[in-house]
Amino acid sequence: MEFHHEPIMLRECLTLLAPERGGVFADGTLGGGGHAEAVLHALPETGRLIGIDRDGDALAAASKRLGPFKERFTAVKGNFFQIRQILDSLGISGLDGMLVDLGVSSYQLDNPQRGFSYHENAPLDMRMDQNASFSAYDVVNGYDERELTRILRDYGEEKWAARIASFIIKARQEKPLTTTSELVDLIRAAIPAAARREGGHPAKRTFQAIRIEVNGELEGLSKAVDEMADCLKPGGRLAVITFHSLEDRIVKQAFQRMERPCTCPPSAPVCICGKQPTAKILTRKPLTASEEELKENSRAKSAKLRAMEKI
């Protein structure tokens, strides 16, 4: 199937990143290249964009889409968590702007064989990097009840986490769970009928939690935000789009630490720790999609956009 990408809050991202300033920009979650294409169009002719993604399908599709930009665009297979290593390998000392969109791409959701969707029957996969050896199958069939409960509760904010974990453990004693439909049926059985009528699809939170665990999306995110900010030149900007409260909290707290790094007690008359701000927050409250955008793209509903500028 064709790799397509509806770039979330595109206008807002461009306003915050201000690529018309020129320089070197990076898209840490390239996807189908929607954000990247808009940034490249806005960049002066001397500007350059580095597109990073773990998904080989995404890189191939985006490289084709962005081919007309020639040497102004460079595709890199990798994880933005290693942004410093990636830039060093390209001989780039600093960035003028960087964007990361932490959501799952439309292609990954809509391609049944990738196993991200609870609406389609597929193998239990959910790997963003298809060369990775660890998949949703390993989480569902390998984690003990305590660990399953933890990730469903912490990453999915699922209040029926313990009950769902118990049902998974019992079912896999008969045979391994291999498909998304099997997992969805178990979740439906585990959640009481009254609760299933609330808050959308009953499997949504469990699938989110397993996907986060498979791809290590939260583990190390705070450090990655710090590293991305560190890679910016003075005046460089970082924009991050999140899709659930755990991600948003990590990004918010990281930005706050950069803007207000002082660790002195509130009662101290003057700062003695000597820590100076390294960033200015550009979004006091996260930006969300407009009503107009939500009509066109319902997947933007939970998106939040935060941005900062390096001092």
161-173 pLDDT tens trace: 999 999 999 999 9
CA distance readout (Å), 32 to 4, 26, 79, 109, 146: 5, 14, 16, 13, 37
Q: How many CA atoms lie within 13 A of 267 on its CB side?
A: 0
Q: For 129-143, 188-202, 219-233, 278-292, which range has the lowest pLDDT when averaged over its residues?
A: 188-202
| Dihedral class, residue 33 (left if φ above 0, else alpha if ψ from -120 to 50, else beta) | left
CATH classification at residue 232: 3.40.50.150
pLDDT given for residue 39 in this prediction: 98
Which residue among 200, 215, 230 closes a domain?
215
Which residue among 156, 186, 215 closes a domain?
215
pLDDT given for residue 298 in this prediction: 87
pLDDT given for residue 299 in this prediction: 84
Which residue among 181, 196, 215 closes a domain?
215
Q: In DSSP terms, which residues pair with 99 in a beta bridge?
A: 27, 239
Q: Do 118 and 203 form a contact (C-beta atoms < 8 A)? A: yes
The answer, yes or no, to whether residue 295 has pLDDT greater than 80, is yes
pLDDT given for residue 3 in this prediction: 56
CATH classification at residue 194: 1.10.150.170
67-117 pLDDT tens trace: 999 999 999 999 999 999 999 999 999 999 999 999 877 777 778 789 999
Q: How many CA atoms lie within 13 A of 305 on its CB side?
A: 24
pLDDT given for residue 154 in this prediction: 94
Query: Considering the domain boundaries, does residue 205 fall inside one?
Result: yes
pLDDT bin (cut points 50, 70, 90) of residue 2 is low
Token couple for 117: 């969707």
**Residue 85, domain extent:** 10-102+218-310
pLDDT given for residue 266 in this prediction: 84
Q: Does 90 share its domain with 119?
A: no
Q: What is the pTM assigned to this prediction?
A: 0.90
DSSP H or E stretch at residue 34: helix 34-42
Q: Do 50 and 26 form a contact (C-beta atoms < 8 A)? A: yes
Averaged pLDDT score across all residues of the chain: 94
- Which of residues 143 and 265 earns the better pLDDT score? 143
> CB 247: neighbour CB atoms within 10 A?
19
